[in-house]
Structure 1
Amino acid sequence: MSVSVILLVVVIISLNLRTDRPTTRAGVIEEVLVDVDSIAATLPAGTVVSTSDASAGSDCPDGSGGEEVAVSRTMTVGPDFDRYAWVDSVARHYEGMGWSVTAKTLDNRDHIALKLVGQHLLTYRVTVTDETGVPQVIIRSTSRCTEPATSMRTGENR
């Protein structure tokens, strides 16, 4: 009976230690993109003219051997896009969901930065700018770290 009790305790502990956080590259990117999609969906219908996504991996800063991925989505918006009303709407929406929201104007009044920190402590930086000559909304975030890549131990699978 003591073996079954120990086994039960081990199972209960392992179930409580399980995390729903993704650990693969695809998983951490998907976790970020869910919120990027959600933020992008707040743009008024018909506003987005074109969209492009980019991502780049780098070593996890904690030295664990994992990887973090910087993700960005650039959306060109039409000239009638009201950036101030949209930023205000997004800020209210995410504050209402319990997120931390900070908004500020950048080097000139037409460039607006919005920092959103979500429930899972992922940070999203949203910039509304027309530096390229066309108005754009750029959403950037960096994923959490993946699990370290496993390496083959000496003598295995030779």
Structure 2
Amino acid sequence: MRKILPLLLVLLAVIIKAQQYPLVVYNFSPVAVAKLKIRVTDPTTWQYDCHPIAYGETAGLIQPGTTVTYDLMNNSASKTPPINQWDIMSHYIGIPDAIYNVNAGATIPAAITSIINWQSITIVFVNGETIDVGRGCTQPGTPTYNSGATPSGRTAATNTLAAPAQQILTIF
């Protein structure tokens, strides 16, 4: 038992560290969101190009008046709407680039799931209009574009909260 306890504490610490900032999406708009295109990166290690990069898209609508929380990449297929797979470019950190179909049971390595920065999100509405929120990856200090609007008046904004730690995407 004494040998198992330290191992359990290490595993618990890894789980707590892995993606500790969930993405919470609130759709307060009267229009359904057809798709979220999400990029997750770690700009602290490769600041000029934000490697590794994980890219996923929702498969289904986010209806008006609903909320969805994406807390872990490996369980994103269990959310409504799901993100069934992640296309990951990770060769810069020694892991071959791959597409992980988490809906089919693929497990993304911990070195990638520890990415906790929701870099950029493209919101695609059912009428085809889009809003981009997030941050670019061209150089350190790249300005953020944390809000936007569509020609028909839909708006969105993203903010990071410290307590509880989470990234909030609000759509009006």
The two structures have a TM-score, normalised by structure 1, of 0.29
Greater share of strand residues, 1 or 2? 2
The structure with the larger Rg is 1
The two structures have a TM-score, normalised by structure 2, of 0.28
